[in-house]
C-alpha cells in the first residue's frame, strides 16, 4: 500500500473512517472501532468542539479502505507514523489530557481499550485542526448537545434492526396495529399500504446512561412517529413520552 504524502489525503482517510462509524454496516462499524481500540498513535482532530481520534496505521495509507487494510500484510505503523510526521511536521507526543479524552471517546463508541496501546506502548498524539465537518456527518441533525459522537452512537443503536423488529412484533401482537405511543399517529391509516408496519423505534434509555456492555431489551423500545421522536430529543435531559403528551394536550 502507498503511503499518504499530503494533508488532503490524510483528511480524506479520516473522513473514510468517520463514514464507517456513521453510516457503515455492522461489520464496518465494528472493524473501525477495533482499529481505534488497538491503536497506539492517533491524530486527534476537533470538529464542533468535539475531539475524535484516528489511528495512524489506518489513515497513513493513501485512499485506504477496510477491505484492503484488513488483508494487507504490508501495513506497518512505524511507516505510517513517518509519513504523518512529514506531513504535520511534528512527532506524536505523550499527552495525558488527550489520552483522557481518547478514553472518553472510546466509551461513547462502546469500546473498552487497554490501559496502553499495542505491545504495551504508551499512546501518543498529533493534533490536527480541520476547518469543516465531514460529508459523512452532514446528515446528522445536531439534536444532541453532547456532540455528534453521541448522535452517531444513538443512531447506531436505534438501527439495531433485530431488537426493533422484535419490539414491533410484540407491540403489534398486543395492539393489533402499529401506532405512536404518544400521539396515536398510525402511518397505515393515513398513508395506506405504503405506511403499513412503519413506525420508529425509540430507546427509552439514554445512550449516556448505557454501560458499554448494555444489551437492549424489547421492553426498552417504544413506538413513536417521526415528529414525536424528534421532539423527545430536542432537549437535555431527554423529554419523556409523558412530557410530550402534556405538551400535546396544551395545544
Question: 127-141: per-residue pLDDT in tens?
Answer: 998 877 777 777 776
The pair phi, psi for residue 187, each rounded to 5°, is -60, -40
Mean pLDDT, rounded, of the chain: 86
Helix (H/G/I), strand (E/B), else coil: 198: coil
Question: Grid coordinates representing 7?
Answer: 494533508
Rounded-to-integer distance, Cα 87 and Cα 7, Å: 6
How many Å apart are CA 55 and CA 81, to the nearest integer? Answer: 10
Nearest-angstrom CA–CA distance, 69 and 58: 7
> In this predicted model, which residue has the larger pLDDT, 37 or 204?
37
Residue 207 pLDDT level (bands cut at 50, 70, 90): low
Spatial CA neighbour of 226 closest among 202, 248, 243: 202
Give pTM, 2 decimals: 0.67
| CA 144, chain centre distance (Å) | 12
Model confidence over 141-194: pLDDT tens digits?
666 666 777 777 766 666 666 788 899 999 999 999 999 999 999 999 999 999
DSSP label at residue 89: T
Residues in the chain: 251
Q: What is the pLDDT of residues 33-52, one digit of tens each?
A: 999 999 999 999 987 778 99
Amino acid at each position: 500500500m502507498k503511503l499518504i504524502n499530503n494533508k488532503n489525503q490524510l483528511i480524506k482517510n479520516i473522513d473514510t473512517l468517520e463514514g464507517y462509524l456513521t453510516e457503515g454496516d455492522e461489520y464496518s462499524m465494528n472493524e473501525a472501532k477495533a482499529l481505534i481500540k488497538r491503536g497506539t498513535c492517533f491524530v486527534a482532530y476537533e470538529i464542533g468542539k468535539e475531539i475524535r481520534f484516528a489511528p495512524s496505521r489506518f489513515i497513513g495509507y493513501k485512499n485506504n479502505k477496510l477491505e484492503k487494510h484488513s488483508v494487507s500484510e504490508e501495513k506497518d505503523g512505524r511507516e505510517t507514523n513517518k509519513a504523518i510526521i512529514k506531513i504535520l511536521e511534528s512527532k506524536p507526543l505523550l499527552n495525558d489530557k488527550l489520552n483522557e479524552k481518547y478514553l472518553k471517546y472510546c466509551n461513547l463508541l462502546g469500546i473498552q481499550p487497554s490501559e496502553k496501546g499495542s505491545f504495551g506502548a504508551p499512546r501518543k498524539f498529533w493534533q490536527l485542526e480541520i476547518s469543516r465537518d465531514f460529508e459523512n456527518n452532514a446528515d446528522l441533525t445536531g439534536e444532541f448537545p453532547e456532540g455528534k459522537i453521541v448522535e452517531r452512537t444513538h443512531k447506531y443503536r436505534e438501527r439495531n434492526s433485530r431488537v426493533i423488529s422484535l419490539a414491533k412484533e410484540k407491540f403489534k401482537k398486543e395492539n393489533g396495529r402499529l401506532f405512536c405511543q404518544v400521539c396515536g399517529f398510525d402511518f397505515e391509516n393515513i398513508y395506506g399500504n405504503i405506511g403499513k408496519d412503519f413506525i420508529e423505534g425509540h430507546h427509552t434509555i439514554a445512550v449516556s446512561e448505557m454501560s458499554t456492555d448494555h444489551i437492549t431489551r424489547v421492553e426498552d423500545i417504544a413506538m413513536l412517529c417521526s415528529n414525536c421522536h424528534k421532539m423527545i430529543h430536542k432537549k437535555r435531559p431527554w423529554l419523556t413520552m409523558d412530557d410530550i403528551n402534556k405538551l400535546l394536550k396544551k395545544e
